[in-house]
Amino acid sequence: MKKVLVAGGAGFLGSHLCDRLLNRTDIEKLVVVDNLWTGREANISHIQDPRFHFVRSDVEELQTSDRFDEVYHLASPASPPWYMKEPKRTISANLIGAFRLLDLLKKGGRFCFTSSSEVYGDPLVSPQPESYKGQVDCTGPRSSYDESKRCTESLLFEMQRTQGLDLKIVRPFNVYGPRTRPDDGRAVSNFVAQALTGRPITVFGDGLQSRSWGYVDDIIDGFARYFWINETDYRGPLNVGNDREISVLEVAQYVSRLMGGIPIVFEPSPPHDPTNRRPDLTNANYVMPEWSCAISYEEGVEKTLDWFRQEMKIPAAELAQADSRRLATAGR
Ligand code: UDP
């Protein structure tokens, strides 16, 4: 029986991953460490499993006498306004967090890390294979996130090379869906929250920049297959995403139509906004041939809308805070 630690387990992706882990029968204890910076207790409050333990702490400071068979490192903000506001804290959560988590891994244990498609920066190659080195600015306003993901990958791959660490790294592409914070500030959650509160949908720039939007269930299914279900020697990094690339404007227009024609307004682009993003899934198809993204963005956006509708007792103060965070970073 295994002891498992999920850092960032009260977050959007982390909480969905915990739900999947708790379906396993070979786990005796699952500990979540989360400081509730971007994570929320509401994301895990449905879990009644006696194997589940929640520790509120920065991952870097986690104190425990347990040692773990599997560690999942998802402790990081992922939304630009959040990580741009607290870059030092973002770097620390990813990188110093990884150092702390390595200390808590049993000898021979498995370390799984969620990196990001942000390691490709503003890519000049499309779709992006894992071998693409990316176009990232290490002094730019997105660097706290991009470079800490890159550096944490370096740390872990070097631990694998020099000490044989059992390692798996994924690079998810623009994941959205239920349990995103209403004030997260990312495209789909903003559009849906705006539409549901009767505010105009904010498209940054001309909206022709594109992303590959991955519905959370599809992405978590990919994580589970790669991290523990499928037997594979491939240590990653592994792109996990939906390879249907759609412009931001198209998503905004879709949400607007669904909600009876909510107006769209154009606002200045955030700094260094990537123009495109699309995963090359050759390796994913090899490692998990039975996996593919089953949920179209139209279906996924509708599901997200339904979830937000249930949740939408969003306090106005949270939304106002989200707007001010965005304005604070827009000029950088
Ligand atoms: N975006 C937008 N309006 C919003 C939020 C985001 O037009 O209210 C754009 C953003 O400029 C980017 C894309 O949507 O081009 C995806 O942004 P998000 O923050 O979701 O993810 P990331 O920039 O990390 O890919």
Task: Indicate if ligand 1 lies below 6 Å from the C-beta of 326.
Answer: no
In this prediction, residue 86 carries a pLDDT of: 97
Cβ partners under 8 Å of residue 136, min gap 6: 118, 119, 120, 121, 142, 143, 146, 147, 150
In this prediction, residue 271 carries a pLDDT of: 87
Residue 143's H or E segment, with its range, is: helix 143-163
Cα 67 to ligand 1 centroid, rounded to whole Å: 38
In this prediction, residue 180 carries a pLDDT of: 96
Within 10 angstroms of residue 247's Cβ, the number of other Cβ atoms is: 16
Cα 224 to ligand 1 centroid, rounded to whole Å: 26
Q: Kindly give the confidence (pLDDT) of every residue in the chain, 332 residues in length, as a single tens digit, with 9 standing for 90 and above.
A: 999 999 999 999 999 999 999 999 999 999 999 999 999 999 999 999 999 999 999 999 999 999 999 999 999 999 999 999 999 999 999 999 999 999 999 999 999 999 999 999 999 999 999 999 999 999 999 999 999 999 999 999 999 999 999 999 999 999 999 999 999 999 999 999 999 999 999 999 999 999 999 999 999 999 999 999 999 989 889 999 999 999 999 999 999 999 999 999 999 998 899 999 999 999 999 999 999 999 999 999 999 999 999 887 655 556 556 556 555 554 44
Task: Indicate if ligand 1 lies below 6 Å from the C-beta of 202.
Answer: yes
Contact (CB, 8 A) for 205 and 268: yes
In this prediction, residue 328 carries a pLDDT of: 56
β-strand 245-247 against 210-212: which pairing, if any? antiparallel
In this prediction, residue 332 carries a pLDDT of: 43
In this prediction, residue 325 carries a pLDDT of: 56
Task: Indicate if ligand 1 lies below 6 Å from the C-beta of 119.
Answer: no
Pick left, alpha or beta for residue 198 (phi over 0 → left; psi -120 to 50 → alpha; otherwise beta): left
Task: Indicate if ligand 1 lies below 6 Å from the C-beta of 186.
Answer: yes
What are the two backbone dihedrals, phi and then psi, of residue 307, each rounded to the nearest 5 degrees? -65, -45
Atom of ligand 1 nearest to the CA of 78: 24
In this prediction, residue 235 carries a pLDDT of: 83
Atom of ligand 1 nearest to the CA of 194: 8
In this prediction, residue 330 carries a pLDDT of: 47
SS3 content of the chain, % helix, strand, coil (to 5): 40, 20, 40
β-strand 105-114 against 264-267: which pairing, if any? unpaired
Tell me, yes or no, if the pTM score tops 0.75: yes
Atom of ligand 1 nearest to the CA of 191: 8
Tell me the domain boundaries of the chain: 2-173+215-240
CATH class of 2-173+215-240: alpha beta
């004030």: which residue's tokens?
A: 183
Cβ partners under 8 Å of residue 311, min gap 6: 182
Task: Indicate if ligand 1 lies below 6 Å from the C-beta of 195.
Answer: no
Question: Widest CA span of the chain, in angstroms?
Answer: 58
